[in-house]
């Protein structure tokens, strides 16, 4: 029999609960194990129903979604996907929820709008399934010798002779939490720029950059069109656009931020698009890290990176929220080393 995963739907709106329930129960791998109307009820239902995953509204009476998230994470190892409003005001609490341990988030407006695209629904459903399945793999990995498992996934490539001149980090589902273990720990005297490509809806990367800027040793900002890359800065590629790198006549490198409304690429920003532009410029001076995320964005770009002499680090399966993007690079043999999240920064700094 096919394994089915139970979903707890948490929302104060009866309409939203019905909509989400209807969407979830269209898929044979998912079923709604229960509903909750506020944070207090969510905590109680998690305790009693033991769901595989929770969809959590942020704004609710009595106890909001962020407070409930923090309490649930203290007591249970259950993945939680937040449902966010598509507004600038909604971005900040969403980023706070991701910091507090939410695996990912999804826009309510995308799910309930008129004539919603089937691809959007499929992406939401696949996100839930992928997160649950990855969580089960992580639990199994705890029973295995981690060092032995990781060592089997490491290629014996020598460290580069050429100096690294830029670090590009690509990530998606689970990315904001993963970035928390890396970006704040870059030393204040880091001699190269860092570019982060995080899959997010438009408007959310600015809040992400502003939040990281409050506790990172380096300055963190959203990348701007025609801006020259400067050492010691962390740039977040703006969501809803494609970010490419261009070599200027003065031999400096700048960003080109382009409107992607007519772009058929699912990901905006796309890691592939950025890496394809960066690889011919930086060649063996380029270092890439592919972290947790759904899909295979990055594998085409990593091919270009390796063809131009660059280097690729990927995150191990046992620490990924979803082992999709690193897995694609791993299976294509386009990486230099694969390490768990806690070792990614150390590995990056050995190259720099």
CB 337 within 8 A of CB 154: yes
Determine the Cα–Cα distance for residues 185 and 107; give it in Å rounded to an integer: 30
DSSP 8-class letter at 155: -
From 57, 4, 10, select the one nearest 34 (Cα to Cα): 10
Catalytic residue chosen out of the listed positions 12, 38, 199, 316: 199
Positive or negative, the Cα torsion across 182, 186, 190, 194? positive
| 336 classed as catalytic | no
Catalytic residue chosen out of the listed positions 172, 277, 304, 316: 172
From 259, 306, 325, select the one nearest 160 (Cα to Cα): 306
| b (16+ CB within 10 A) / e for 301-313 | bbbbbbebebbbb
Catalytic residue chosen out of the listed positions 11, 57, 104, 297: 297
Determine the Cα–Cα distance for residues 41 and 33; give it in Å rounded to an integer: 14
Quote the crossing angle between the two packed helices 88-99 and 65-75, to the nearest 10°: 10
Token pair for residue 283? 């060649």
From 332, 275, 327, select the one nearest 305 (Cα to Cα): 275
| 297 classed as catalytic | yes
Alpha helices in the chain (DSSP H): 14-24, 39-49, 65-75, 88-99, 108-112, 118-141, 146-151, 175-180, 204-213, 271-282, 299-307, 325-331, 341-351
342 class by beta-carbon count within 10 Å (0-12 exposed, 13-18 middle, 19+ buried): exposed
Pairing assessment for the beta strands 241-247 and 253-259 based on DSSP bridges? antiparallel
CB 343 within 8 A of CB 178: no
| 219 classed as catalytic | no
Give the residue numbers marked as catalytic.
172, 199, 297
């Amino acid at each position: 029999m096919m394994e089915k995963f139970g979903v707890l739907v948490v929302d104060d709106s009866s309409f939203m609960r019905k909509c989400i329930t209807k969407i979830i129960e269209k898929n044979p791998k998912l079923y709604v194990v229960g509903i909750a109307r506020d944070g207090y009820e969510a905590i109680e239902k998690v305790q009693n129903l033991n769901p595989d995953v929770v969809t959590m509204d942020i704004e609710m009476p009595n106890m909001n979604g962020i407070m409930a998230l923090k309490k649930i994470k203290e007591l249970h190892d259950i993945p939680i996907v937040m449902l966010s409003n598509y507004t600038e005001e909604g971005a900040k609490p969403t980023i706070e929820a991701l910091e507090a341990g939410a695996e990912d988030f999804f826009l309510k407006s995308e799910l309930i709008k008129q004539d919603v695209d089937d691809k959007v629904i499929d992406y939401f459903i696949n996100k839930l399934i992928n997160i649950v399945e990855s969580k089960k793999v992580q639990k199994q990995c705890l029973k295995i010798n981690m060092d032995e498992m990781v060592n089997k996934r490491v290629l014996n490539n020598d460290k580069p002779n050429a100096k690294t001149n830029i670090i590009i980090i690509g990530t998606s589902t689970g990315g904001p939490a993963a970035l928390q273990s890396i970006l704040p720990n870059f030393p204040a005297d880091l001699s190269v720029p860092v570019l982060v490509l995080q899959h997010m809806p438009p408007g959310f990367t600015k809040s992400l950059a502003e939040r990281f800027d409050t506790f990172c040793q380096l300055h963190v900002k959203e990348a701007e069109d025609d801006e020259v890359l400067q050492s010691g800065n962390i740039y977040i590629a703006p969501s809803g656009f494609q970010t490419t790198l261009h070599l200027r006549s003065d031999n400096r490198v700048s960003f080109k931020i382009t409107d992607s409304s007519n772009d058929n690429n699912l990901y905006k920003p796309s890691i592939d698009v950025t890496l394809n532009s960066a690889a011919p410029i930086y060649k063996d001076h380029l270092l890439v890290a592919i972290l947790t995320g759904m899909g295979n964005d990055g594998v085409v770009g990593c091919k270009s990176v390796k063809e131009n002499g660059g280097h690729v680090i990927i995150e191990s399966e046992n620490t990924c929220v979803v082992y999709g993007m690193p897995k694609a690079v791993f299976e294509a043999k386009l990486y230099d080393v694969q390490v768990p999240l806690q070792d990614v920064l150390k590995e990056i700094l050995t190259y720099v």
